[in-house]
Each structure stands twice: as C-alpha cells, then as structure tokens.
Structure 1
Amino acid sequence: MHKIALAAILGGISIASNAAPLGLPPVPVPADNPQTPAKIKLGDRLYHDKRFSADGKVSCATCHAREKAFTDHLPVSKGFQGKRGTRNAPTVINAAYLKTQFWDGREPDLEGQSKQPPVNPVEGGLPDHRPILAVIRKDKDYTRAFKKVFGATPAEISMDHVAKAIASFERTIIAGDSPFDQYRYGGKNNALTASQKRGLDVFLNKGRCVSCHVIEQTQALFTDNRFHNIGVGFKRLKEKEAQTARAFIQKKNQGADVDVTV
C-alpha cells in the first residue's frame, strides 16, 4: 500500500466524498445514513470503546487496528478472555465498497456488520446489545453526541444509531492512489518497477487473476464481489465431507453462530 487516501488512517478524520482517490469510485453512502463530521467523530469513538465487551478489553479496533492496516496480523483473531475464533480479521480498508460483509457474506452493509461482533460468543462475549446501550446512556459525552447527531434522548438511543455512527466512520477508511493506480490510471509509466510490470502482465493474462480480482477501465477494487469455491483447505476434510456438512447444517438449524460452528 503506497498511500492511504483519507486522514482517517493517518490520525485525523475526513469525509469520503465524490473526490475519490485515484483508482477508486465514489464511496457508496446509504440514503438513510449520510456522512457528517459529527457522526464520523462519534463512530470513531464507538469503534475504539472497549467497554462494549464482556471483559471490557475488546473493541472493534482490537481486531481491526489502525496501526496494523485495520487488521490484527493474527492467523486467527482473539476475542474476550483471549478466546480464539475460527477466522482471521479482514481489513476495514475499502470495506465500504463491498456488497457483502464477513467472510461468509451474511450482512449486506457496514451497519449490519457492526452489530454482530459485540454479541459474538468469542469476540465480544455479550449476551445481547443492552449492556452497550447502558454504557452509552450513562456517559454524558456520548449522550450529548447522540443528541447532536441523531436528535435522540438517552432513552431513545438504539443500536441502529450506534451501527450508523460506526459505519460512517468506517466509510472514511479508504485507500487509493497506489503505485498501481498511478501507473494504470494516472499515466505514470515509472510508477511501477520492471519486475512489478511483469507481475501485472501475469496477473492480467497468463495467471488470469483478473478474472475474479477485477480491474476496470477507470477503477480497481480487485474483487468481483462474488464467492468462488477454489478448493482451498478442502483436503483437510479428507473423507469427512458429508459428516462435516451434516454437522454444520444441524448447528445452523439450531441457530448456532456461524463463526463458532465453522
């Protein structure tokens, strides 16, 4: 990554706008959750608040840390009390462009995604969202901020408000204008080295990487926003495919959390 486009990565907060970084389209923003500086600032604080977990030690930033490119650099992420999950943490960078969230795509947007980790039995460990709202309603800085942003009294503050604020902050975490972008879209032939240009040629042609990691005429998100079964890790199942599938379906029908089941 050459350059993080918005000041959210660098320590300040800026609003993603139509003036998108080179190589990226405008950030999609829901009509019912427009970006405002106050909402983004509130979302930033909520994102970093460790009180929204069972042991008071886990926040969004625990697994999606600014200084680690909004990941945790771990093969499998750790939640409250050091519990290990079954997935590593995807980066939040450019997640605003994704059409589905989580590795299994179970949420369509950042608002829906932000509600789940605190009540995941491994991540935040809370039984439900009520402890989060209780913390917020007792915090004068929070109640003032929610009143300013949403016009909500302490009793009216809901998880929808919390989710909208966090999502607004996450929509500022955007990275573009990389050496690739400068080469491909900025007309700078020397932005890539000779070796990198050879790699790009393989990516576009013989390797067929671009079939799924899409590069368009004016922008590149390096995804087609679809799911593909390429067999990675399948050998570990050996002859247990049917048994594993049955166990998963049974757990799913029982309402078990997918992150814990798989």
Structure 2
Amino acid sequence: MKPKISRTMIIFVTVIAASMLSSLANADSALMRDGFKRPTDIPFPEENGYTDAKAVLGKMLFFDPRLSRENNITCASCHNPSFAWEDAQTTSVGTPMSRLGRHTPTVLNLAWGELFFWDGRSESLEEQALGPIQAGGEMAQDLDLLIAELKAVSGYVDMFEAAFPREGITAENIGKAIATYERTIVSAKAPFDHWIEGDENAINAAAKRGFELFNTKAKCASCHDGWNFTDWSFHDIGLGDADEGRYEVLDIDVLKHSFKTPGLRNINERAPYMHNGSLATLEEVVEHYDSGFVKRASLSSEMQELNLTKGEKHDLVAFIKTLSSNDPQVSLPKLPN
C-alpha cells in the first residue's frame, strides 16, 4: 500500500525546492557581480609614476591648442569631457578640418589599458599621447617646433622643471605629462556599482534581467568583462566597412577587420558607436550583435545569432545604461604664457 502524500507536504517540498533554486540563482548572480567590482587604486607605471606636478602639466597640455600646427586643435577637441571624452561625431575631424577614417575612442579609464588606438598600434599611453600630435591628418605638429614653442613660454619652462627636474621640455616628457593626466580620467561610480555593492534599489528590474542576459544568452561578457567591461583584446565583430584594423599592424589573417573592444563605462553618452561611428544608438548596437553582422573568415567565433526577443533587447539596453556615472565637471585650465 502506497503512503499518502498530503497537500501540505507537497506545498512544503515545492517551497523548499523553489527556495533552493532561488539561492542557487542568487549565488550565481553574486559570482557574476564580483567579476565587475571597481578597483580601489589607479595604476601608474614605474617609469612614469604619478606626481601632482605631472598631472597638472599634463592637463595644461591636453587643453592647449599650441600642440597643433595651426594652434587651433587640442587633445580635448576630439576627447571632449562633455561627451564622456569622445566628440559625438561619426568620425574625427583633424587639421585642416579634414575628416578622419575612424570614430574617436574615449580616454576614460585608460590607466588600465594595455594597447592603444582602435588597432592597438601603441604599446603605452605615453606613446599614444604623442601620436595624434604628430599625425599629419590630426594635429600635424612637428615635435621640434613644438618644443621650441613651449620653451618660449616661461610658465611652461617652470612647470616642466617642477614635473621633471633637470630634464626640462622634451618630447618624451610631453608624452609622460599627458599620459599622467589621462590616467587620472576615471569614470565615477555608476548605479551598477552601487547595485553590486548591495543596494538593490540602485537599478530596476529590467536592468537586473539585462545583467543576467549580458552574462548568459547575449554573450556580451565574453569580450566586455571586468570592471571596465573590456577584455582589451581585438575582434572582428562583422562591421561591413573595408577597414582591416589590427591586421594593418600585425599582418595576420585572423586579425582582419579586428578592433579593440571598447569599455562600456558611460557608454550612453558616447554615441555614435563602433570604430567607424556607423551605429547611432545602443538599440542599433544590440541589433547588430543579435543578427546584423557580416559573416566572413575572420569573424570572431563569439559572433553568433542570439535570437533575442524584443523584451530581452530592451532589458539589455536598460542594463547597459546603468554603467553611466554622474562624473564631476571638468574645469578648463588657465594656460601659461
């Protein structure tokens, strides 16, 4: 004779099972959150350690049009703090008002970077800082002429001596000063950060579902991982332009059309998107990853049709928007003369 199972027992077992599943889901969510916790300190390289004098000088140089040949373009012309350190244009504008081939990448959180520019052609932030100054289509400045121009400014002579005692104004020190300032450009805490620290009200239910999708079905975290949401690596994500990206640097077939994974901090303020500025909204970006990419031999293996529903796409965008922080307003420096 079979033992009778009461309705109360069935309810009890169901509740226990639901509780166990909920606990497992919460544990998985907690583990996922741990992988995105912010660092506590900004890393500076041993060969260019932080000093206040270098950071102040670097900020002066970053906003000084004298770094360009025509004295009309600054680093901030493209890396504008009002647009999360981009410029809100499809592709950058150089001198003399020439349209460049790629979208301006942000300088947010580059202190944690490994290779720089969309194609990774610079191995240090110091090297990267000098690149646009000299590039013919960008600031088009001759470094020797720039050094002579800065040496004619007594304020700069004093500032370089304070930042680099007994070294003075050199191309290397210009790069070091700008790189030091750029490393201090760090996004502030966003609603997402408050959520992973325990404030369950910091983001809404749609964003929480989006975070789950980001790490599972949508596969975003395969490349956009860590606190800055980038693996700092290079991938062909199936954009349809002819730019071959990292391949032009290393001449390796698998790297054709590959570009550096951008971090997602403050991404809501950084439209348009992609290395060519071809996608105007985050919704368009999600559609691209869902099924809108070009299939070719170099396409990243991570690029697969996702079959996201309309609601899932909405939730994913809702999550991504929680990565934007209310950063302090940047004051313009009074330049030396």
Pair in the same fold by TM > 0.5: yes
**Secondary structure in 2 aligned to 1:81?**
coil
Cα displacement string for residues 81-129 of structure 1 (whole angstroms, at most 9, x for unaligned residues): 2111101111111111111110000112210100110111111122x31
Match of 1:78 among 73, 89, 93: 93
Query: Is 1:130 paired with 2:144?
Result: yes
| TM-score where L is the length of structure 2 | 0.60
Q: Does 1:174 align with 2:186?
A: yes
d(CA) in 1 for partners of 2:80, 2:192: 25
C-alpha separation between the residues in 2 aligned to 1:61 and 1:226? 25
Contact 1:52/1:131 (<8 A) preserved:
no
Indicate the residue corresponding to 2:235 in structure 1. Answer: 228
Counterpart check, 1:60 vs 2:75: yes
CA distance in 2, matches of 1:230, 1:129: 36
Q: With CA pairs under 8 Å and 6+ residues apart, which has the higher RCO, 1 or 2?
A: 1
Runs of 4+ with >4 A deviation: none
Q: Aligned equivalents of 1:222 and 1:68: distance in 2?
A: 19
Is 1:110 matched up with 2:106?
Answer: no
Q: Residue 169 of structure 2 is aligned with which of 144, 149, 157?
A: 157
Number of residue equivalences: 212
In structure 2, the residue matched to 1:197 is 208
Separation in 1, partners of 2:166, 2:77: 28
Query: 8 Å contact 1:146–1:152 — kept in the other structure?
Result: no
Q: Secondary structure at the match of 2:201?
A: helix
From 69, 86, 105, the equivalent of 1:90 is 105
Contact 1:23–1:176 under 8 Å retained in 2: no
Shift of 1:209: 0.5
2: CA distance between counterparts of 1:177 and 1:67? 17
Aligned with 1:191: secondary structure?
coil
Offset, 1:25: 5.0
The amino acid across from 1:90 in the alignment is P
2:157 to 114, 121, 143: 143
**SS, match of residue 26 in structure 1:** coil
Query: Distance in 1 between the 2:172 and 2:41 partners?
Result: 24
Q: Distance in 2 between matches of 1:95 and 1:29?
A: 11
SS at match of 1:86: coil
Q: Which residue in the other structure is 1:18 paired with?
A: none
Are the counterparts in 2 of residues 203 and 209 from structure 1 also a CA contact under 8 Å?
Answer: yes
How far did residue 36 of structure 1 move? 1.0
Give the secondary-structure state (helix, strand or coil) at the position aligned to 1:162: helix
Change in Cα spacing, 1:25 to 1:229, as seen in structure 2 (3 Å) is: farther
| Structure 2 unaligned blocks of 5 or more | 1-36, 250-275, 277-337
Distance in 2 of aligned mates of 1:229 and 1:95: 22
Equivalent residue number for residue 47 of structure 1: 62
Gapped regions of structure 1 (runs ≥ 5): 1-21, 250-261
Residue 170 of structure 1: CA displacement? Answer: 0.6
**Equivalent-residue separation in structure 2 for 1:189 and 1:80 (angstroms):** 48
- TM-score normalised over the length of structure 1: 0.76
SS in 1 for 2:147: helix
Q: How large is the Cα RMSD of the aligned pairs?
A: 2.1
Which has the higher Rg, Structure 1 or Structure 2?
2
